[in-house]
Amino acid sequence: MDREHRKAYAAWMKKGILAECVLLVALAAVFYMTGRPQAVSAGAAGEDYIKWVDFDVSYEALCQAYAWDVDTYESQVHLGWVELLAYTAARTGGSFDREALEILDRAAESVSSGEKTWEELTEDLKYYAYYREAYGAVLDGMVGCYEREKINEDGSITYETVYGLKAYFPLARGFDYTHYDDFGVSRSYGYKRQHLGHDMMGQTGTPIMAIESGYVEALGWNQYGGWRIGIRNLDGKRYYYYAHLRQNYPFAEHLEEGSLVTAGDVIGYMGHTGYSTKENVNNIEVTHLHWGLQLIFDESQKECDNEIWIDVYALTRFLAKHTQETEKVEGTKEWVRSTQIRDPAVENAPPFVPAPTASPE
């Protein structure tokens, strides 16, 4: 068992200790007063950051908030989707049932019509700031302006500026897959633990796409995830983990630690490697991509006993709105995206700084 999984095992064991239970109760009292969590102290004077996030935003809420965001982009009052979702969560305690969708719509209509300003709408919501920061850690940067390649009738290429989803679905367009919400289900290889990601079953060799632009922080073998890739997005708040990649040809050509990738780039290929201390072994029964999303509010959270991994099932469904077509490189096993984008975040990317990686499966 490697260092990062020894840590995970120790964390699991601690959950059975009375002291850990007491701590969890105390944290729950701070996080979930009246059903609404808030940021808590890191322990050092003056240093506060969020220690846990339950991302229970539904697919329907994501779609609804996104539609308001895009539809009002060039209006006098632009409604940000993260703000709308945070407002709704602050009103409902994080629930996104049918009533919550009505609350979201009423808030959007009130602000867009000029009946109320956003400040007036949120001024008495004690936990709005918490949800804005928490949901922003998940969603900020996924929607915005970017340039999209356009191939004209005469074969020339130009770029058009668009506003909308910049993040991509994790599988290339046109490749079959199945999935269901499997976050938190039991895993037993090596030690008993929870599944901290989302599995998408498909065909060996299906191109895996970068969901968001960022730097490759981890690339190689892990006995739990097999061939895997870890990518940190460019604001540093999100760590994307892609696991069980293809035997013998797991990664896109030229990809290496420190590579800067653009959202929608091919980064690897679906397989079923893992569950082995020996490299390049297919010990996973079903071909699938495991992808996970870790939130990082402070670098001390990157590798610790209390990492924040969220359920991304609804987000995966939502990202299916934005898929990237690929084409085969003749005479190779390589696939590449068929059209390019220009992401301002990539053009203004800070220098790569190597960091430890977390890789649960």
- Residue-level pLDDT at 165: 98
Spell out the residues 6+ positions from residue 127 whose beta carbon is closer than 8 angstroms to its own.
Answer: 36, 37, 38, 89, 90
Specify the range with the lowest mean pLDDT, choosing from 9-13, 39-43, 248-252: 39-43
* Residue 166: closest CA among 319, 296, 356, 357: 319
**How do strand 186-187 and strand 193-194 relate by DSSP bridges?**
antiparallel
Specify the range with the lowest mean pLDDT, choosing from 37-46, 59-68, 94-103, 291-300: 37-46
> In a 3-state reduction of DSSP, which class is residue 223?
coil
- Number of C-beta neighbours around residue 305 at 10 A: 13
Contact 77, 114 (CB under 8 A): yes
Read off the pLDDT band of 2 (50, 70, 90): very low
The mean pLDDT of 40-45, rounded to a whole number, is 38
Domain boundaries, the chain: 3-49, 59-140, 166-347
Spell out the residues 6+ positions from residue 337 whose beta carbon is closer than 8 angstroms to its own.
Answer: 209, 264, 265, 266, 324, 325, 326
Q: What is the mean pLDDT of the chain?
A: 88
> In a 3-state reduction of DSSP, which class is residue 232?
strand
Altogether, the residues listed in the chain come to a count of: 361
The mean pLDDT of 113-141, rounded to a whole number, is 96
Q: Output the pTM of the full model.
A: 0.86
Measured N-to-C along each axis, helices 98-112 and 81-92 cross at an angle, to the nearest 10 degrees, of: 130
- Residue-level pLDDT at 155: 86
- Residue-level pLDDT at 345: 94
Most confident of 17-21, 79-83, 187-191, 356-360: 79-83
* Residue 57: closest CA among 129, 121, 135: 135
Identify any residues that bridge with 193 across adjacent strands, giving them in sequence order. 187
- Residue-level pLDDT at 14: 44
- In tens, the pLDDT along 177-188 reads 999 998 888 776
> In a 3-state reduction of DSSP, which class is residue 200?
strand
Is the predicted pLDDT of residue 195 greater than 80, yes or no?
A: yes
Spell out the residues 6+ positions from residue 359 whose beta carbon is closer than 8 angstroms to its own.
Answer: 4, 218, 222, 224, 225, 228, 230, 241, 243
Higher per-residue pLDDT: 22 or 356: 356
- In tens, the pLDDT along 45-66 reads 446 899 999 999 999 999 999 9
Class level of CATH domain 166-347: mainly beta
- In tens, the pLDDT along 304-358 reads 889 999 999 999 999 999 999 999 999 999 999 999 999 999 999 999 988 654 4
- Residue-level pLDDT at 361: 57
CA dist., res. 361 & res. 176, Å (int): 23
Contact 274, 286 (CB under 8 A): no
Evaluate the CA torsion angle 208, 211, 212, 214 in order and state its sign.
negative
Identify any residues that bridge with 249 across adjacent strands, giving them in sequence order. none
> In a 3-state reduction of DSSP, which class is residue 217?
strand
Contact 309, 118 (CB under 8 A): no
- Residue-level pLDDT at 360: 52
Q: E-strand spans in the chain?
A: 40-41, 48-49, 143-151, 157-165, 177-179, 186-187, 193-194, 198-202, 207-209, 214-222, 226-233, 238-243, 260-261, 266-269, 288-295, 308-309, 326-328, 335-337, 341-342
Q: Residue 328 has which token pair? A: 């085969």
- In tens, the pLDDT along 150-163 reads 989 898 999 999 99
CA dist., res. 228 & res. 219, Å (int): 6
Read off the pLDDT band of 37 (50, 70, 90): low
Scanning the structure block, which residue is given the tokens 């209509």?
109
Specify the range with the lowest mean pLDDT, choosing from 21-30, 112-121, 167-176, 214-223: 21-30
Spell out the residues 6+ positions from residue 63 whose beta carbon is closer than 8 angstroms to its own.
Answer: 318, 321
